[in-house]
């Protein structure tokens, strides 16, 4: 069993709306309340901020760089000696990929120094699709020499179409109230945000017992990760067969903000809601029809995506 002594905790995150900031602060409470730990919060900052709430065009203009994982320029983090006993990498998902600022840090020279030979926990605040992004993050952590020992996913619990409506309202207005007074509040519920503390307790207790190898099993028991087999299957197909092609199509006309790509961005902006509201429900029907014939594969995927090991050739 691996022996890990926990003293210095680094929490890396980029929070555009502030929701993820609240999640990481709650997660870290058990460490903050102990004299045996020093917690360092490091907010990843793009040189040119994306802004919140989003402006409509800017939201869709960020699509190709998100999908192709093209980094933006970020500010260097002042982290002292850069030597930590545990790294918590918290991130959100943009277009089935880690947010551009989050990914930009992972591609930086500073990340190479910080992650090498360190235990890492990923902490996600998402709507409902995240497995493609997490597979990429697993790969990057491994490339950096880090050791992923735990994964926690806080998500919007709304039904898919309802969630699309409420999160769109939140992203473009910045308001987290009930849209039209009839829809649920958008994003991750306050109960779940506050409840992130329970996962901090589990992490702290397991690491103090030198039980890092079984940490993810304990987190799964506490429902820190829940896999929706339909969404996991759908996003893998959509990312590879649809998103990458659209991203390539737009990038042929230049980088972010390039006027030459405006028409293509606007075409995608019209296609995107059509795909969600029309194509996705049709795919769901086919998934239900064929699911009984894929039970073994579905169970295998649920087990895999709940864990922290990296699948080869994903």
Please give the average per-residue pLDDT across 107-117, as a whole number.
Answer: 96
Please report where in the chains the tokens 């277009």 appear, as a residue.
Answer: 95
Write down the pLDDT at residue 19. 96
Nearest alpha carbon to residue 238 among 119, 132, 155: 132
| 2-54 residue pLDDT tens | 555 668 999 999 999 999 999 999 999 999 999 899 999 999 999 999 999 99
Q: Is 8-229+302-306 CATH 2.10.109.10?
A: no
Confidence label for 289 from pLDDT (cuts 50, 70 and 90): confident
Nearest alpha carbon to residue 16 among 98, 78, 73: 98
- Please provide the size of the chain in residues: 314
Please give the average per-residue pLDDT across 249-259, as a whole number.
Answer: 95
Q: Which long-range contacts (CB under 8 A, 24 or more apart) does 258-261 make?
A: 261/61
Domain spans of the chain?
8-229+302-306
């Amino acid at each position: 069993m691996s022996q890990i002594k926990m003293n210095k905790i680094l929490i890396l995150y980029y929070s555009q709306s502030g929701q993820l900031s609240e999640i990481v602060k709650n997660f870290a409470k058990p460490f903050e309340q102990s004299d045996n730990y020093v917690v360092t919060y490091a907010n990843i900052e793009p040189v040119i901020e994306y802004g919140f709430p989003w402006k409509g065009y800017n939201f869709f203009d960020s699509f190709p760089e998100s999908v192709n994982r093209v980094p933006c320029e970020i500010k260097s983090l002042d982290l002292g000696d850069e030597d930590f006993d545990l790294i918590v990498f918290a991130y959100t998902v943009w277009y089935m990929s880690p947010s551009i600022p989050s990914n930009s840090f992972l591609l930086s020279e500073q990340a190479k120094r910080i992650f090498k030979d360190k235990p890492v926990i990923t902490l996600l605040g998402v709507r409902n699709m995240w497995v493609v992004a997490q597979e990429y993050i697993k790969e990057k952590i491994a490339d950096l020499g880090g050791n992923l020992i735990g994964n926690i996913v806080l998500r919007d619990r709304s039904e898919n179409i309802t969630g699309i409506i409420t999160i769109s309202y939140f992203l473009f207005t910045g308001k987290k109230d009930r849209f039209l007074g009839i829809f649920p509040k958008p994003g991750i519920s306050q109960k779940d945000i506050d409840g992130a503390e329970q996962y901090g307790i589990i992490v702290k207790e397991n690491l103090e017992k030198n039980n890092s190898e079984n940490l993810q099993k304990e987190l799964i028991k506490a429902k820190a990760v829940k896999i929706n087999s339909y969404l996991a299957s759908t996003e893998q197909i959509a990312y590879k067969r649809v998103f990458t092609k659209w991203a390539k199509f737009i990038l042929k006309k230049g980088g972010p903000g390039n006027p030459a790509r405006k028409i293509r961005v606007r075409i995608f902006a019209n296609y995107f809601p059509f795909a969600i509201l029309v194509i996705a429900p049709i795919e769901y029907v086919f998934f239900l029809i064929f699911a009984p014939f894929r039970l073994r594969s579905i169970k295998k995927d649920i087990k895999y995506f709940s864990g922290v090991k990296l699948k080869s050739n994903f």
